[in-house]
Structure 1
């Protein structure tokens, strides 16, 4: 089994693995899966992702056949997020997921990443158990749109928590900046902000460049601070930003 960086020629296999993996792991309609694959892994979008220095796509190549892949994005300084780890259902149970996860972690370390986060849909029991078995703990939640419907993602982290800091919102109420949950911006990281210290409800984002709240985020995960212009790239690819 060869674990390597994805190449443009791997695009059809990546789409096939993602389609079969999503179908086996989630209760999604076939058309929803097809639409999601075309949205996230179309030929031109994969080409752009492969050329993006902040994106890491690794594949597991079994004698010339791609049977799994991981998709990661470098977020805030020294932080990266593993967005997806897909294994073809016909090749599960062989330890490929663990091997690919470790290879991904090593590749990110070469990019000076010290803190790895993971995202997995809340309904994927095996995926959540995978992170827990590898010493990660759930530190928050987010949402992802699949074919126009929102799904809850659990966010996992491996480092010690720094805590949540209370700040005043414009309406005078306290909200809580999560220093353990941040994303890279064009000027400085964005931190997730919750309405309670326990992190039950999302309020918005905190721009660490100008120390203001940034509430605007589109469905692809693009955040823009209206005060200083700090921008986070879309987490999932949207043709408007290619």
Structure 2
């Protein structure tokens, strides 16, 4: 079994694996599955993903036949989200998912990505167990739209501590996302952002749901991410930190 980056010629096999995997794992009708495949993995979309350095598509190639693939998106300098991991239902139970997961992680580490998150639809019991078995814990939820219907996604993060990650703020300053210091939001956690790597001066919050800075706070201390609507309600008065 070879685990490698996807190529343009893998498009038909990727669409076939995704179609069969969605049909086996979720209570989606044929039309919903077809619409999802056309939206996510048509030729133009695949070409865009394959040319995007922040998009990582990895396949499991068994003697020239693609039997599984993963799709990941690098969000910040050392953080990525594993969006999908599909295995052909006929090949499940062979350990392919585990091997593909580790190969994907290895490819992301070569890009200096050390903080991995995962998303899986809430109704996929096996997928949720997969993350739990690997030391991930649920940190939030989101919704994904498939053929006009909204489905709940669970968001997972590894339980290890990661420290502070440098990112560029809108004012061109370098600020630091503390991956070990977070507070609950309505969709996913907010990470505290500091002005210095070792200091205590808070700059704002980082929304882990859409990977953007959330700086606006109202008079009652409530933070809302302008990008995705994730809301943090304070457990104490802390407007002075902003």
Q: TM-score, normalised by structure 1?
A: 0.73
Deviation at 1:206, TM superposition (A): 6.1
Deviation at 1:163, TM superposition (A): 3.5
Note if 1:215 corresponds to 2:226: yes
**Whole-Å separation in 1 of the counterparts to 2:68 and 2:189:** 36
Count of aligned pairs:
191
Note if 1:179 corresponds to 2:166: no
Call closer, same or farther: CA 1:192–1:118 in 2, change over 3 Å.
closer
What is residue 48 of structure 2 aligned with on the other side? 48
Call closer, same or farther: CA 1:95–1:192 in 2, change over 3 Å.
closer
What is residue 70 of structure 1 aligned with on the other side? 70
Unaligned regions of 5+ residues in structure 2, if any? 162-178, 193-204, 217-223, 230-242
Unaligned regions of 5+ residues in structure 1, if any? 168-175, 181-188, 194-203, 219-242
What is residue 99 of structure 2 aligned with on the other side? 99
Tell whether the 8 Å contact from 1:72 to 1:81 is kept in structure 2 after alignment: yes
**Whole-Å separation in 1 of the counterparts to 2:93 and 2:153:** 24
Tell whether the 8 Å contact from 2:207 to 2:225 is kept in structure 1 after alignment: no
CA RMSD, Structure 1 to Structure 2 (Å): 2.6
The ranges of structure 1 where at least 4 consecutive aligned residues each deviate by more than 3 angstroms after the TM superposition are 163-167
Tell whether the 8 Å contact from 2:120 to 2:154 is kept in structure 1 after alignment: yes
Deviation at 1:205, TM superposition (A): 8.2
Tell whether the 8 Å contact from 1:3 to 1:103 is kept in structure 2 after alignment: yes
**Whole-Å separation in 2 of the counterparts to 1:102 and 1:166:** 29
**Whole-Å separation in 2 of the counterparts to 1:166 and 1:152:** 17
**Whole-Å separation in 1 of the counterparts to 2:83 and 2:8:** 20
Note if 1:191 corresponds to 2:207: yes
Deviation at 1:191, TM superposition (A): 1.1
Q: TM-score, normalised by structure 2?
A: 0.73
Deviation at 1:162, TM superposition (A): 2.4
**Whole-Å separation in 2 of the counterparts to 1:86 and 1:135:** 20
Higher RCO, Cα 8 Å, sep 6+: 1
State the secondary structure of the residue aligned to 1:143. Answer: strand
State the secondary structure of the residue aligned to 1:127. Answer: helix
Call closer, same or farther: CA 1:151–1:2 in 2, change over 3 Å.
same
**Whole-Å separation in 2 of the counterparts to 1:131 and 1:216:** 27
What is residue 147 of structure 2 aligned with on the other side? 147
What is residue 164 of structure 1 aligned with on the other side? 182
Tell whether the 8 Å contact from 2:139 to 2:189 is kept in structure 1 after alignment: no
Deviation readout 1:98-139 (Å, 9 max, x if unpaired): 000000000000000010000000000000000001111111
